[in-house]
């Protein structure tokens, strides 16, 4: 394995980039492309683990794809990929390895960080999480009054929330009957109030997920939940007043995902009930670690193991497939093609699977926190646009909301459509298979976006000439179709890893560090400085800018209670 350069290659100086600039001036017409090549759909479709991915409705031809693959070679994609999987410190601003992939490596694989094989440690923590989950699921773990746990509340934010809640929602058919999970993240007190309002304190277990156990939002919410628990238990007479009773209750109703065992103990959680993870796992890549403890409790260790195996299957595809057949690499390169050569600024992810309704929100953090950078990993300014806004909603809801812009707007919006062949709930409306009706929309939308409708086709329908222009669809709107047999734990893991590696590919082309997130820090730092001003400290108010002073004074004048 060759070591990647400490200075990123400027993609704009490569031969392939120049060729792509020339090719971008030559329009690819999808109607003509399909008419000219009856095998286009077959040639531009690929299998990746259990996923079938059709790239044929993208604005590319063989020359464009060849140039994109050459670009990947000229910026060193495979070398940087191999360095990541080997545990090299490619997160340069934090001097860390990037090894979320090690979270799903099977036992026996060897990955070293600082001379230590991390895979046995990963499985040691995983086994501990599994053992805990089995206790909760079996009823062996009970609350302070001896009642079994029926609701698990995960308290986290960012990667400690978005991943677990997305996976839980996606895999609801696999949740053990009688168990449910809820997720608290927002520091808005309404979040805690609503999530706990109808719960029984005697049957509720809280998981506090914070690596350092210092995250402002998470620890504030954890204290609110602790107060709710103790107040509720005391009000019902379930526990007596006093510190000893409170300590016993907290120990039975709180566990932690953290490595700061001293702070965990100070909170009242038994350090034996803390599950650790490592600095080489970024938050947005951590759902396969102990951060997924709430999911393990809900769906069980066997299903979570299948989830990890799905991620690993996509990892192997990314590592072992030639770039010309490598689905994550090709999809990442296509995103570069649209961002840098077609001025696309957003990217829609449209799951035709209701259980994936939180998947676009999950991808927002993964993609935009990773690739929202304006300097390269050596500190030099970027030489291209980087990143795009990821967004989306499940179909068919989106069709009745924002598809108008995708179909007939002036902006190019590449879109990924995701669907499964076998639904979890195969319902019928009379004799009609509703899932088939649903997928008819999935197939029709990508066809409509690709091929559109000409003015002559509109006229042929008898449309009044005055409104013909309004009913023309230009087509040539690029989409990728991703299909899976069913939304199983393995398939969900494959989808997550697919987008992780898409994001990585784009970052390599742009020469950025996709694994730090300094951009989230300034606002958090300023919030701490502004907090005394919000509380009425006049000297703190005087230190703020004029707009902030005005807003704080308006707030204080109108706050009731």
Is residue 436 within 8 Å of 43, Cβ to Cβ? no
Active site residue 253: no
206's enclosing H/E stretch is strand 204-209
Determine the Cα–Cα distance for residues 230 and 319; give it in Å rounded to an integer.
50
Other beta carbons within 10 Å of 538: 9
What is the rounded CA–CA span in Å between residue 188 and residue 86? 41
Residue 1 to residue 81: CA distance in whole angstroms: 10
Please state, in angstroms and rounded to a whole number, the distance separating the CA atoms of residues 366 and 348: 14
Q: Which residues are registered as beta bridge partners of 96?
A: 91
The residue written with tokens 């649903």 in the block is 438
Structure token pair of residue 217:
């939002």
Q: Among 15, 42, 302, 400, which one carries the catalytic annotation?
A: 400
CA distances to 78, 160, 189, 206 from 226, rounded to whole Å, are: 48, 19, 14, 9
* Residue 293 to residue 12: CA distance in whole angstroms: 43
Task: Specify whether the CB–CB gap between 452 and 388 falls below 8 A.
Answer: no
3-class secondary structure, 297: helix
Residue with structure tokens 């031809």?
61
Tokens of 360: 């676009």
The question of whether 400 is a catalytic residue gets the answer yes
Task: Label residue 176 exposed, middle or buried (CB < 10 Å: 0-12, 13-18, 19+).
Answer: middle
Q: What is the DSSP string of 396-408?
A: TGGGGTTHHHHHH
Q: ∠ CA(445), CA(450), CA(453), 5° rounding?
A: 85
**Torsion 428-430-434-436 (CA) sign:** positive
The catalytic position among 169, 202, 217, 369 is 369
The β-bridge relationship of strands 151-155 and 180-184 is parallel
Indicate left, alpha or beta for 136 from its phi (over 0: left) and psi (-120 to 50: alpha).
Answer: alpha
116 included as an active-site residue: no
Q: What amino acid positions are annotated as catalytic residues?
A: 369, 400, 524
């Amino acid at each position: 394995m060759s070591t990647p350069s400490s200075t990123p290659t400027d993609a704009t100086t490569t031969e392939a980039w120049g060729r792509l600039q020339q090719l971008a001036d030559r329009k690819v017409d999808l109607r003509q492309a399909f008419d000219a090549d009856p095998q286009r759909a077959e040639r531009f479709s690929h299998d990746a683990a259990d996923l079938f991915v059709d790239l044929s409705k993208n604005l590319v031809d063989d020359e464009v794809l060849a140039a994109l693959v050459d670009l990947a070679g000229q910026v060193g994609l495979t070398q940087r990929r191999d360095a990541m999987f080997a545990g090299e410190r490619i997160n340069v601003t934090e001097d860390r390895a990037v090894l979320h992939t090690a979270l799903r490596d099977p036992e026996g694989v060897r990955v070293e960080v600082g001379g230590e094989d991390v895979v046995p440690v990963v499985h040691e923590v995983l086994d501990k999480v599994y053992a805990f989950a089995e206790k909760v699921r079996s009823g062996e773990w009970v609350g302070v009054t001896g009642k079994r746990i029926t609701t698990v509340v995960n308290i986290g934010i960012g990667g400690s929330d978005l991943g677990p809640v997305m996976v839980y929602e996606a895999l609801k058919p696999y949740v053990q009957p009688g168990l449910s999970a809820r997720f608290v993240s927002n520091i808005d007190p309404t979040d805690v109030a609503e999530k706990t309002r109808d719960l029984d304190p005697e049957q509720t277990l809280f998981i506090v997920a914070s690596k350092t156990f210092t995250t402002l939002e998470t620890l504030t919410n954890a204290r609110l939940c602790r107060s709710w628990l103790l107040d509720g238990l005391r009000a019902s007479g379930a526990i007596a007043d006093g510190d000893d009773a409170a300590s016993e209750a907290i120990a039975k109703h709180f566990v932690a995902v953290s490595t700061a065992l001293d702070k965990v103990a100070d909170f009242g959680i038994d350090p034996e009930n803390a599950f650790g993870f490592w600095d080489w796992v970024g938050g947005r890549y951590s759902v396969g670690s102990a951060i997924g403890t709430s999911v393990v409790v809900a769906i069980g260790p066997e299903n979570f193991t299948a989830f990890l195996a799905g991620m690993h299957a996509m990892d192997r595809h990314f590592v072992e497939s030639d770039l010309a057949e490598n689905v994550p690499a090709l999809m990442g390169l296509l995103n570069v093609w649209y961002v840098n050569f077609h001025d696309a600024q957003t990217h829609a992810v449209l799951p035709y699977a209701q259980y994936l309704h939180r998947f676009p929100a999950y991808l927002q953090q993964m993609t935009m926190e990773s690739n929202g950078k304006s300097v390269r990993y050596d500190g030099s300014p970027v030489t291209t646009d980087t990143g795009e806004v990821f967004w989306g909603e499940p179909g068919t809801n989106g069709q009745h909301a924002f598809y108008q812009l995708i179909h007939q707007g002036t902006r190019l919006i590449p879109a990924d459509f995701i669907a499964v062949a076998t639904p979890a709930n195969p319902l019928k409306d009379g004799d009609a298979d509703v899932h088939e009706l649903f997928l008819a929309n999935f197939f029709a939308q990508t066809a409509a976006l690709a091929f559109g409708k000409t003015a002559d086709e509109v006229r042929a329908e008898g449309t009044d000439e005055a409104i013909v222009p309004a009913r023309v669809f230009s087509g040539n709107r690029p989409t990728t179709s991703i299909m899976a047999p069913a939304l199983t734990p393995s398939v969900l893991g494959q989808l997550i890893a697919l987008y992780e590696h898409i994001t990585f590919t784009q970052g390599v082309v742009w020469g950025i560090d996709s694994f730090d997130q300094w951009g989230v820090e300034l606002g958090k730092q300023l919030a701490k400085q502004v907090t005394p001003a919000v509380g009425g400290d006049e000297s703190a108010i005087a230190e703020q800018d004029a707009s902030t002073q005005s807003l704080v004074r308006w707030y204080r004048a109108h706050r009731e209670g």
